[in-house]
Structure 1
Amino acid sequence: MGLFNRNRGQSTAAPRTITLTKSTGPAVDRATVEQRGSVDLTKKFDKAGISLSKAGLDGIRAEAIMILDHSGSMLDDYRNGLVQTLVDRALAFTLQIDGDGKIPVLPFDSRLWPTVTVGLDNYHGVVDRDIFRPQRMGGTYLSYPLQAVLDMAKTANSPLYVVIVTDDDPTDEHDVIRLLKELKRHAVFVKVLTLVKAPFWDRMDDLTVPGLIDNLDAKRIKDPAGMSDLAFADVMVDEWSTWVELATRAGILQ
């Protein structure tokens, strides 16, 4: 999908129209999750289904993507297993909405690290095994993965559900704002989970672009490991149904 194309020109074209698929039930059969995942993952999967159903999004399909902060300030979150917990939760949600049952994880710091595709076959210990590089953690340059997502959005055939996990405001704020504005032109919903108080993301939650719709919801998660599965799933679903409705009216979805 041209994931690493570095064309940075801002488009002025009309938004592309993407067909929204809404079937019934989860994208991945529950029996498959039970057989190949843990009991804990299956519980998270079930609660994600309940949250989607409550919001009228049962059967909705989208391509899930995770952008994962790998900056130095996240060191303890990696070491204590919190990041692995968040990846597990994101995978459980993905299994409800994304038919391939996998979520590409884009780790970033002062660079964009290689994408790690997480699914039922490899999620156990994937963070320590394939993502965490404790001696090579850098700054918070979020524009790198956002540019990759924008490149995907330009050719995507399904809506993108992008979850960003971070504990800080980005270093490259100007470029991040530019890219977030451009993403509003596409079938992309952005869920930002901040681990600390992040004033930048409070501002981005209210960011408006004339003629374009709000596609970003930022939530502070004070205790990701201590949240109930249903509470976390509710956070993931919040404002998505509103975006679907607005995007349909705007011609981004049909």
Structure 2
Amino acid sequence: MTNLIDLTKKVGIVLEKKKLTGVKAEIILAIDQSGSMSSLYKNGTVQQIVERLLAIGMNMDANKEIDVFQFNNGANFVGTATEANHATFVKDTKMTVSGGTKYAPVMELIVSKYGIALSGNQEPAKKSLFGGLFSKKAKEIPIKPEHPTFVLFITDGNNSDKSEATRIVRESANQPIFWQFVGIGKEKFAFLQKLDDLKDRYVDNADFFKISNVAKVSDEELYDKLLTEFPDWLLQVKAKGMLS
């Protein structure tokens, strides 16, 4: 088991270097559960990933936690990893592996839960000329979140729903959601690189890097890579008034 206190301190050092000290965000982990990930679940790599990424939540998340999602052909919310439950999180939440790989279901789930909500604002009913009541159609008003959402998206393979995933990245560019894609293993991940380089977006809301063996990457290097583009994106989001 990793030492969460030491990891939290390491993240703090990287945040200071990136001028992110004190910044709060919703920290989300979306992790591949397709069949090809089986060995990484069995050998404890996924458990270590949860622990290492929780350290980011301990620094940045307002509740010092991370929400965890799994995805294969579908997607589901697994639970919230915290200081109290992190040591056996994968085992206790019964995180399983099966099926193929689609990105869009979990991306849609995340956008629907953490994206900009809409509130119906309906004017009071008034009498018509004929004595009946009428009211103007409800007007949807966006409710801007207080904190941005930082999605740590971990996968070991390419997906079968490229057009849908591309659409979601493009359409969510006007929301305070940042997609940090991480490819692990031997794949070339040409599609994830394409998502990173998408043109004509409201803001550049995605980054990608590859790690052949995540277990062999030092904590300092991992955190530095994960936080490479988030600071510049956050400046753009604030400048465009996308947060409350």
TM bin (shorter chain) = 0.7 to 0.9
Instruction: State the match for 2:189 in structure 1.
Output: 198
Q: Distance in 2 between matches of 1:57 and 1:110?
A: 35
**1:148 equivalent among 70, 93, 109:** 109
Mind listing any 5+ residue stretches in structure 1 that lack a counterpart?
1-37
1:166 aligns with 2:129: no
SS at match of 1:191: strand
Q: Greater Rg, structure 1 or structure 2?
A: 2
Rounded Cα–Cα distance in structure 2 between residues aligned with 1:39 and 1:140: 29
User: Which among 158, 174, 181 is matched to residue 185 of structure 1?
Assistant: 174
TM-aligned CA deviation for residue 86 of structure 1: 0.8
The Cα of 1:55 is off from its aligned counterpart by 0.8
Residue 85 (structure 1) shift: 1.0
1:99 positional shift: 1.7
Aligned residues: 214
1:4-56 Cα distance to aligned partner (Å, 9 max, x none)? xxxxxxxxxxxxxxxxxxxxxxxxxxxxxxxxxx7711111111011110011
Aligned partners of 2:76 and 2:106 also within 8 Å: no
Report the equivalent of 2:235. 245
Q: 1 CA distance for matches of 2:12 and 2:38?
A: 32
What CA distance in whole angstroms lies between the structure 2 residues aligned with 1:85 and 1:236? Answer: 16
Give the aligned residue type for 1:120: E
| Distance in 2 (alpha carbons) for counterparts of 1:42 and 1:227 | 19
The amino acid across from 1:84 in the alignment is Q
| Structure 1 partner of 2:125 | none
Percent identity for Structure 1 against Structure 2: 28
Equivalent residue runs for 1:41-190 within 5 Å:
41-134=4-97, 137-151=98-112, 152-155=114-117, 156-190=145-179
Alignment-mate amino acid for residue 108 of structure 2? Q
More strand by share: 2
Name the counterpart of 1:225. Answer: 215
* Alpha-carbon distance between aligned partners in 2 of 1:157 and 1:149, rounded to the nearest angstrom: 16
Aligned alpha-carbon RMSD (Å): 1.6
Superposed displacement of residue 88, structure 1: 0.7
Aligned partner of 1:201: which letter? L
1:41-100 superposed Cα distances (whole Å, 9 cap, x missing partner) = 111111101111001111100011111110011111111111111111110111100121
TM-score, L = length of structure 2: 0.83
CA contact (8 A) 1:143 1:175 kept: yes
The gaps in structure 2 that reach 5 residues or longer are 118-144
Distance 2:215 2:237 in 1: 32
In the TM superposition, what whole-angstrom CA distance separates every residue of 1:203-242 from its partner, at most 9, and x where no partner exists? 11101225x1101111112221122211111112111111
**8 Å Cα contact 1:159/1:188 also seen in 2:** yes
The answer as to 2:224 corresponding to 1:234 is: yes
Instruction: Give TM-score, length-normalised by structure 1.
Output: 0.80
Q: 1:209-224 alignment to 2 at 5 Å? A: 209-210=200-201, 212-224=202-214
Confirm or deny: 8 A CA contact 1:244 1:253 kept in the other structure. no
Q: Once superposed, which parts of structure 1, at least 4 consecutive aligned residues long, lie more than 6 Å away?
A: none
Q: Give the corresponding residue for 1:16.
A: none
Question: Secondary structure, in 3 states, of the residue corresponding to 2:80?
Answer: strand
Quick one: higher RCO (CA 8 Å, sep 6+), 1 or 2? 1
Q: Distance in 2 between matches of 1:106 and 1:157?
A: 22
Does the Cα contact within 8 Å between 2:47 and 2:90 map onto a contact in 1? yes
Q: How far off its partner does 1:157 sit?
A: 3.2
CA 39–175 in structure 1, closer or farther in 2 if over 3 Å, else same:
closer
C-alpha distance in structure 2 between counterparts of 1:142 and 1:148, whole Å: 10
The answer to whether the 8 Å contact 2:2/2:48 transfers is no
